[in-house]
Amino acid sequence: MTINVTALDGGYCLHLERMVIKDGRLKTVKFPSLFFYIYHPQQGHILFDTGYSERFHDATKNFPEKIYALLTPVEVKEEDLAINKLGGLGIKPEEINYIFISHFHADHIAALKDFDKAKFIVSKQAWLDIKDRSRFGSLVRGVLPSLIPENFEDRLLFYEEMGKEVEEADNILKGFKAWDLFKDGSMLAVPIPGHTCGHSGLLVDTGIKKHFLVGDACWMSRSIRDFKLPALPAYLIMDSKQSYYESLSKLNALYKGIEDIEMLPSHCGEVFAKKVKNKSVDQNNMNSL
Ligand SMILES: [Zn+2]
């Protein structure tokens, strides 16, 4: 069975590099907002997150949501939209069967409303953490409820229920729990807590290589390789500093222990340079490789 994983860029935001990695530059740089298209021979077309969409600007027009846009200035062009990126691959939005949501920050879910037929796969904890929050309560979690489709709950699948929990003895992801989504070993949903409550990644085994889509477990691949933590202010927006530390430490151990595993954080300039074809975001001033 051959599974394909394609990295796509869906706009970018600007951040001080030092915020996301301790030895980063004291310079405002671009962080691409990556999402991934996966083709599974039996399950069809699948997305891991969606990148930004113009809805982010609509959702942050007024206060208090405007604070979000001021803290992370976002650039998204028509060509960056997930529907247009997929169009370039010959895939129509209604052909997407599943969208795996790493977490509910806007840069990961802003285009959910473009995919009417997709089922949403998410961790139960992530959804329970945000579903009944007030407008302000959502904002402090970095969530913009207007980006979530009205019929979201009708289309929702919790991976802890749809998948099969991988037995500890069979689990190559030592230290992490994992759920085998389609019970064929091809795609494992993996809780990677810390960044947000219920934040999750996806291990995709293409048959040749293992791609570990780690979402915002860190912002740069170098953080995993060298076990580099973010600067202190970054902890203010984290769900749990302790869980973040533990997750990054386990990812670092996996990276060292499994040769054919490729770690793919969603905002890494290195992943962008290496994996994204047909780039629409300018490489200039990208976070350092
Ligand atoms: Zn995030």
- Residue by residue, DSSP assigns 30-71 as EEEEEEEEEEETTTEEEEE-----THHHHHTSSTTTHHHHHH
Which of residues 23 and 153 earns the better pLDDT score? 153
CA of 253 to the centre of ligand 1 (A): 22
Q: How many domains does the chain have?
A: 1
Token code pair at residue 154: 């009708």
Note the pLDDT of residue 289.
61
Q: 52-69: b or e for each residue (b if 16 or more CB lie within 10 Å)? A: bbebbeebbeeeebeebb
Which of 91-95, 104-108, 178-182, 200-204 has the least mean pLDDT?
104-108
CA of 42 to the centre of ligand 1 (A): 30
Could you give the 3-state DSSP secondary structure of residue 190?
strand
pTM over 0.75: yes
> Is the predicted pLDDT of residue 210 greater than 90, yes or no?
yes
CA of 50 to the centre of ligand 1 (A): 12
> Is the predicted pLDDT of residue 85 greater than 70, yes or no?
yes
Tell me if 144 is assigned to some domain. yes
CA of 219 to the centre of ligand 1 (A): 9
Which of 98-102, 117-121, 222-226 has the least mean pLDDT?
222-226
Is residue 2 exposed (0-12), middle (13-18) or buried (19+ Cβ within 10 Å)?
exposed
Q: Residue 174's closest CA among 206, 212, 126?
A: 212
CA of 89 to the centre of ligand 1 (A): 26
Average confidence (pLDDT) over 86-90 = 96
The answer to whether the beta carbons of residues 81 and 142 sit under 8 Å apart is no
CA of 13 to the centre of ligand 1 (A): 12
Average confidence (pLDDT) over 267-272 = 94
Tens-digit pLDDT profile for residues 137-159: 888 888 899 999 999 999 999 99
CA of 94 to the centre of ligand 1 (A): 26
The C-alpha atoms of residue 211 and residue 145 are separated, in whole angstroms, by: 30
Which of residues 234 and 203 earns the better pLDDT score? 203
CA of 105 to the centre of ligand 1 (A): 5
CA of 169 to the centre of ligand 1 (A): 31
The beta strand positions in 128-209, using DSSP E, are 156-158, 164-165, 179-180, 187-191, 200-205
Average confidence (pLDDT) over 69-89 = 87
Tell me if 286 is assigned to some domain. no
Token code pair at residue 11: 């706009």
Tell me if 288 is assigned to some domain. no
CA of 286 to the centre of ligand 1 (A): 18
Note the pLDDT of residue 96.
98
CA of 116 to the centre of ligand 1 (A): 24
CA of 168 to the centre of ligand 1 (A): 28
Tell me if 129 is assigned to some domain. yes
pLDDT classification of 194: cutoffs 50, 70, 90: very high
Average confidence (pLDDT) over 182-201 = 97
Query: For residue 25, what is the domain's CATH number?
Result: 3.60.15.10
Tell me if 284 is assigned to some domain. no
Q: Which of 133-142, 153-162, 218-227 has the highest mean pLDDT?
A: 153-162
The answer to whether the beta carbons of residues 10 and 62 sit under 8 Å apart is no
Q: Which of 31-35, 121-125, 273-277 has the highest mean pLDDT?
A: 121-125
Tell me if 34 is assigned to some domain. yes
CA of 2 to the centre of ligand 1 (A): 30
The strand pair at 96-100 and 44-48 is best described as parallel
CA of 1 to the centre of ligand 1 (A): 32
Tell me if 151 is assigned to some domain. yes
The C-alpha atoms of residue 66 and residue 54 are separated, in whole angstroms, by: 14
Note the pLDDT of residue 230.
85
CA of 24 to the centre of ligand 1 (A): 19
The answer to whether the beta carbons of residues 50 and 82 sit under 8 Å apart is yes
CA of 142 to the centre of ligand 1 (A): 8
CA of 103 to the centre of ligand 1 (A): 7
Note the pLDDT of residue 66.
84
> Is the predicted pLDDT of residue 20 greater than 80, yes or no?
no
CA of 127 to the centre of ligand 1 (A): 14
Average confidence (pLDDT) over 17-22 = 81
**Host domain of residue 223:** 4-275
CA of 266 to the centre of ligand 1 (A): 9
Token code pair at residue 63: 């206060």
For 77, 87, 230, 254, 263, the CA distances from 224, given in Å and listed in that order, are 30, 33, 11, 9, 8
Tell me if 93 is assigned to some domain. yes
